[in-house]
Amino acid sequence: MLLRINLFAGWFAILLGLVAGAVIGMLFHHEDWLEGYGGWRRRMLRLFHISLVGTGLLNLALALSIAELRILSYPWIAGVLMLAGTATMPTVCALAVWRKEMRHLFFVPVISLVVAVADLIYEGFLK
């Protein structure tokens, strides 16, 4: 069941990332939009959009790796933390657009994703 949730979350995050990129892309031609190209808010908004696509791909990679490696018992830690990272990475990016101090929350999605990948490596290759 969690495998299907990771697959759905992956494709859904990719869809949201593509839509967000299209919306953001309609405003990028304004050079001074969100403090200009190098501005903090604009960079965080770009990171928001790409983090949706990137974490979506990580969920797909997790689900497909479990199937390919024929892992018998679902790696719950990897599955749940991958979902947590997928939810929190774009959220922290969006919060950092709003308030720069929110950047201090990036440890939450980063730790979630790192532990998820480490658990998959353990379950798939080292166990």
Say if 106 falls within a structural domain: yes
58 within a domain of the structure (yes/no): yes
Q: What pTM was estimated for this model as a whole? A: 0.92
Is residue 117 a part of any domain in this protein? yes
Q: Are residues 95 and 105 in contact, defined by beta-carbon separation less than 8 angstroms?
A: yes
Average pLDDT over residues 15-27: 93
Q: What band does 113 get if pLDDT is binned at 50, 70 and 90?
A: very high
Contact indicator for 101, 24 with CB cutoff of 8 Å: no
pLDDT score for 104: 98
Q: What residues make up the domain containing 109?
A: 2-122
Q: Is the pLDDT of residue 62 over 80?
A: yes
The pLDDT, as a whole number, for residue 73 is 82
Q: Looking at the domain assignment, is residue 127 inside a domain?
A: no
Higher pLDDT, 37 or 87: 87
Query: Cβ(118)–Cβ(77) under 8 Å?
Result: no
Secondary structure of the chain in HEC code, one letter for each residue: CHHHHHHHHHHHHHHHHHHHHHHHHCCCCCCCHHHCCCCHHHHHHHHHHHHHHHHHHHHHHHHHHHHHHCCCCCCHHHHHHHHHHHHHHHHHHHHHHHCHHHHHHHHHHHHHHHHHHHHHHHHHHHC
pLDDT(33) > 80: no
Asked if the structure places residue 22 within a domain, the reply is yes
Counting the structural domains of the chain, the total is 1
